[in-house]
Structure 1
Amino acid sequence: MMIHRRFCSLLAVVSNLVIYAEAELGLTLIDSLTADHNLGVVIRLDKGKSGDSFKERMKNKFGDKYDMQVRGVMSTGSQELIALESPDTDVLQSVLEDIDVAAAEYISPYASKFEPGGAQPIWHLDRINQRDQSLDGNTDQHVTGKADGKGVDIYVVDSGVNVKHSSLWKAFNFYNVFTDEGAEDYYGHGTHVAALVGGTFGPATGSTIYSVKVLDKNGSGSTLTVLTGLNRILAKVTESKNLDNLSKNQVIVVMSLTGSPSPAVDAMIVQLYLANVLVVVAAGNQGANACAYTPARNPAAVTVGASNINDEYASYSNFGSCVDIIAPGTDITSASKDGVSVVYSGTSMAAPLVAGVAAMLWSQEKELSARQVRRNLLIGSTYINGYDYLLGSTALQGTPNRFLFGRLEVIDATFADFESGAVSFDDVAFAAGFDTAEPMYLWEVWAAERRKRYGSQSEQASTLPTFGSNLGTASGNLGTADKNTFTSFYLSDTGGLLSYAGIAAAEVEPNGNLNLNGVNDHLDLVGGSLSSIEITQFLYSIGYGEIQLTLYDQSNDDGGIFGKVMLQSDDDFEASRRRYRG
């Protein structure tokens, strides 16, 4: 994959959004915090540090004055977070100087944004189930009977969901941050998003939708409301004391919302990633660089830009190398809060489509990790003809040419099948939709050419040769290749996911590492556009420099969850959230 990220601007942003308060350096630069929106401050303690001792020091110094300014305490399992409501200058100064404080940031507004769309046919499902740019009227997404998202849990972090909408078959209210309004979707954004994942208007019709309401009736929330919702999901996912069970989760989080850069929110997303959760986020609708916003800038999330019916990159969509993939987002029909349908436009509409395709893929093979699902989404994506000139322009420089392809199939095999010759390299190519196994020896050439072929009508032959014809009957993996299906092999004896990559057979390990014919991919680690150095820089900027995003070892601290996730009582949570409606 090509690496051309302009990361310096992101680091410049990072340096202005968080203050690391190291007592021995005497850092008290309160003015270096993010902009004050009069919503308060979030304090992040060093890993392993107790909020009790911190609280005792503050009470000894300020007495009840400190208690009156505390509005919430939560633990992510690795760090404790303390929310202060508009602290006095002397209190904030002492907080920043405290030996246990790692970082602090002002609580910022978060919101969902969408625009009314124009009347269009329901084109988005038609577009993502084919490589060709000419719509054929077919909206079927299912490559097999079991590829419907069944068994995958989708958490929609948004304005609530009308869980009784007729287009949603399995939808439930999981958590509502706001105690002064119900769990219903009064704004209409969350319901629209949910139905694009797993309802009538989305790919993963068999998935289960869980509403996590962090935006109010006006579509507004804050750093604290988003943190609270994500923390509840993390607690649910990691509630098992046996951390090995994390690898058995099939959990996807959809965040179609945008806010100022927040190290605290970004750190929570990294923790979800480490817990085998796939986080899919909207790039944002500011028409700006996505690297300037959370959660779009986060390398642990799949960031989605938007296109229109003509395969043009949407003018409102945020862009740049923080975008991982592009999906339909303009004039998208989906469920309304009132029980009917409505047309909206935005990257908020594109993100749930990617989540739905991910759920379809994951439901075919429960043993896949979230990192393998992520990689397969990107490896199997479509290269849009004519995008190179557009995406190479000054305005959109760094935006990858990867368009969502929905017909991703996984079938079972073993590494022994490949060693014995029962499955050949030609079989891998045929399964991926190619009628030739001619190698392309440079990764950069393959990254473009493999998908550029798919975009032309001349490549739309109806069938390809049968693959896997030498497999034993016990495997039962006979199939006829189709240029409109990208089939990969799950190797049950090694846990790898094997796909055709032109120059080689690409094997994605459960930890996310990519091997090309046994040679480790030395370019990017996560599978998006980030280089390993850039990922490391980002992680250091949010206080997670010791983490490696490719590691998936639950037994040690540099790849697993840090201890048990502890939550305060519901009463305490409700008391702390009452003041943060955004």
Structure 2
Amino acid sequence: MRRPLLAAVALLLLAAASPLAAAREDDDEEYYILSLKPGAGARRARLPPAAPPRRFHGGNGDEDDAIMDDVSRCDPLALEDERGFFPIARVLRRAVRGAVLRLDSPAAAALRARLDPDCALEVDARVTAQGYRTTKVVAQQRSRGGGAEAFRPPRPTHWELDRVDQRALPLDGVASAVNASSSGEGTIVYVVDSGVMRGHDEFRRVAETRRDDESEEQVYYDASAAAYAAAAFDAAASPSSRVVAAADFVSGESPSDKARVAAIGGDCYGHGTAVASLAAGVRSGLAPRADVVDVRVLDCAGNGRVSDVISGLDYAIEHYRSLPAYELPPAALTLSLGVPIGVPSRALERAVAEVVRRHNVVVVVAAGNAERSRRTSDACRFSPGREPSVITVAASEINDRTWSDGMTGPCVDLFAPGVEVTAAAFEEDVGNRYSYQLNARRGGSGGDGGGDDDDGAETEMETDAYAGWTGTSMAAPIVAGAALARMSLERGEGADGAPNPDASGALTNVFHPSPGFNA
């Protein structure tokens, strides 16, 4: 499935074309991921049970008991503490079967020395977001007072939407790739990131007011980005968010940061909100009708742990499997994050491969941002983007040049816009909701001051914010949105029944320098 989908996505893009038991400390060496290698569970099921039965902290029922029974055979002697308990911080259930252990250096060394061949041990490494805000947040205003219903849409360039619908420069100023026939209706995107601000207008089910000469009825629909820009906004409709589910797997986070997440509505860093809007936003995304599942694994500084991400993938798998089998929607999952260069995580790579191979979810991963101190830009050194089963995306600039601070190389599948793209943002100190008290002067019909009696009238103005974002983090969700739009068409959910696009005209080698990739 991967190669045809890559080609189809390239056409749409035109290839521009349960928290840990204790708070984490800064010492990575204290936390390890002990996991079973693929196929190990079936082989170990034929072995006699461990004796005596092992005890551990942090379990959650019979399923965890079975997982830990397998894990205990990796090396029971090295795993027990002085009380005979396993030092378990978290059990990993779906994408990877295993556990997060808190071990001192001697115990870790002993475990490595005697590790069973069916098991793997690695440091629970830090992961970081691969994008950052590069321009000031701009608040977009919509009237909520009086009889004014006109919505003032953002007027930033959105060059990324313009570039993905044409074969060559110069840009024509029209984002025709975003339309009702390729909107991602009937699909779902899992955003594994810093959270999604659920109240942002990018994720609302938008209402358009249309005047009919006969009935003057209001017609509601999930507008595409292009249609939304011209639509009137009905302030009284209060349409619900398309963020249909959310879960938080950030470990060791302070109560104050958790409170910030709750106060803002899902995201205290902003990166995940931007990523989600580029995949499925009503103004910024290629799949504005897709549902969004918020899987929070990065903290308020954009950092997390490999085990947080794997636990988030477990949740995504469980959520997807819980949907009715007879109407299982096409799904994509974004991972705009990764571990430091040169610190590969096989556990994370196996986890994303499991999501692709066993659950048929399209996983789109950022290729990674180059670390100048390491003098490398090889995406094949970056986890999880180097995993062959995922779609790995690097970033291009508005002039069709590869982004100089992004990773490239043979592990990259596609390039997409990733420099100064316009995406959802917020100002944390006011929670992305601004209230203005305006003196609304209304001109009178004559006489004594032209309506001075109305000088104190107040109209409340709410805004949603946008900013420029840069990084391979931003390129990946654009590809995910294109994949969702493609899968929506294949499923026959396109609003106008448009036929599937032909992938034979996909562009290659339009960048300078021309990158090599595996599409």
Alpha-carbon spacing, 1:380–1:64, altered in 2? closer, same or farther (3 Å): farther
Residue 53 (structure 1) shift: 5.4
Alignment RMSD, CA only? 3.0
Q: Deviation of residue 38 (structure 1)?
A: 2.8
CA shift in 2, pair 1:55/1:112, >3 Å: same
In structure 2, the partner of 1:132 is 168
Q: Residue 229 of structure 1 is aligned with which of 298, 312, 331?
A: 312
Give the Å deviation of 1:276: 0.7
The residue type equivalent to 1:44 in the other structure is S
Offset, 1:346: 0.7
Distance 1:105 1:313 in 2: 33
Structure 1 residue 359 displacement after superposition: 0.8
Matched, 1:283 2:367: yes
Question: What is the TM-score with the length of structure 1 in the denominator?
Answer: 0.55
Report how far residue 322 of structure 1 moved: 0.5
Counterpart of 1:547 in structure 2 is none
Cα distance change on mapping 1:264 and 1:328 into 2, 3 Å? same
Structure 2 counterparts to residues 70-469 of structure 1, below 5 A: 70-76=88-94, 80-90=97-107, 92-94=109-111, 97-99=114-116, 101-117=118-134, 121-142=157-178, 145-169=180-204, 170-178=242-250, 180=255, 181=258, 182=261, 184-199=266-281, 200-239=283-322, 245=325, 248-259=328-339, 260-274=343-357, 275-286=359-370, 288-337=377-426, 338=432, 339-366=464-491, 381-385=506-510, 387=512, 390-391=513-514, 399-400=516-517
Instruction: Work out the CA distance in 2 between the residues paired with 1:69 and 1:378.
Output: 52
Tell me, yes or no, if the aligned pair for 1:58 and 1:66 is still in contact at 8 Å: no
Q: Which residue does 2:6 correspond to in 1?
A: none
> CA contact under 8 A between 1:54 and 1:100: conserved in structure 2?
no
User: What is the CA–CA distance in structure 2 between the aligned matches of 1:91 and 1:312, rounded to whole Å?
Assistant: 46
| Counterpart AA for 2:363 | V
SS in 2 for 1:231: helix
Contact 1:248 1:366 in 2 (8 A): no
- Aligned-partner residue type, residue 72 of structure 1: R
SS at match of 1:140: coil
- The CA distance in 1 between the partners of 2:79 and 2:267, in whole Å, is 44
Structure 1 residue 95 displacement after superposition: 6.0
Contact 1:159-1:216 at 8 Å conserved across structures: yes
Stretches of structure 2 that go unaligned for 5 or more consecutive residues are 1-26, 45-66, 137-155, 205-241, 372-376, 427-431, 433-463, 494-499
Residue 232 (structure 1) shift: 1.0
CA apart distance, 1:91: 5.5
Is residue 214–residue 229 contact of structure 1 (8 Å, CA) maintained in 2? yes
- Secondary structure of the 1:343 match is strand
Partner SS, residue 277 of structure 2: helix
Q: What SS does the corresponding residue of 1:318 show, helix, strand or coil?
A: coil
Q: Distance in 1 between the 2:79 and 2:414 partners?
A: 51
SS in 2 for 1:226: helix
Write out per-residue CA displacement over residues 103-147 of structure 1, whole angstroms, 9 at most, x where no aligned residue: 11111100103344358722110000111221111112246x442
CA–CA distance in 1 between the matches of 2:69 and 2:492?
40
Are the counterparts in 1 of residues 279 and 480 from structure 2 also a CA contact under 8 Å? yes
Map of 1:16 onto structure 2 = none
- SS of the equivalent of 2:201 reads coil
Q: 2 CA distance for matches of 1:97 and 1:358? A: 44
Return closer, same or farther for 1:280/1:93 CA change in 2, 3 Å cut-off: same
- Calculate percent identity across the aligned residue pairs: 28
User: By how many angstroms is 1:51 displaced?
Assistant: 2.1
Contact in 2 for aligned 1:254/1:351 (Cα 8 Å): yes
Map of 2:53 onto structure 1: none
Contact 1:256 1:281 in 2 (8 A): yes
SS of the residue corresponding to residue 299 of structure 2 reads coil
**Offset from partner CA, 1:448-496 (integer Å, 9 cap, x none):** xxxxxxxxxxxxxxxxxxxxxxxxxxxxxxxxxxxxxxxxxxxxxxxxx
In structure 2, do the counterparts of structure 1 residues 67 and 126 end up closer, same or farther at CA, with 3 Å as the change threshold? Answer: same
TM-score, normalised to structure 2's length?
A: 0.62
CA gap 1:341/1:142 in 2 versus in 1, 3 angstroms: closer
Distance (Å, rounded) in 2 between the aligned partners of 1:98 and 1:385: 49
Q: Provide closer, same or farther for how the CA distance between residues 155 and 38 of structure 1 changes in structure 2, counting only shifts above 3 A.
A: same
Give the number of equivalent residue pairs.
349
Secondary structure of the 1:47 match is helix
Q: Residues 305 and 319 of structure 1 are in contact (CA less than 8 Å); yes or no, is this contact kept in structure 2?
A: yes
Structure 2 CA distance for partners of 1:61 and 1:137, relative to 1, 3 Å = closer
Whether the aligned pair in 1 keeps the contact of 2:167 and 2:507 (CA below 8 Å) is yes
- Contact 1:325-1:378 within 8 A present in 2 as well: no
What letter corresponds to residue 255 of structure 1 in structure 2?
L
Whole-Å separation in 2 of the counterparts to 1:354 and 1:272: 18
Letter in 2 for 1:197: A
**Does the C-alpha gap of structure 1 residues 72 and 87 become closer, same or farther in structure 2, counting only changes over 3 Å?**
farther
State the SS of the aligned residue for 1:291: helix
User: Any idea what SS the aligned residue of 2:28 has?
Assistant: coil
In 1, Cα distance between equivalents of 2:161 and 2:480: 13
Q: Which has the higher contact order (CA 8 A, sep 6+)?
A: 2
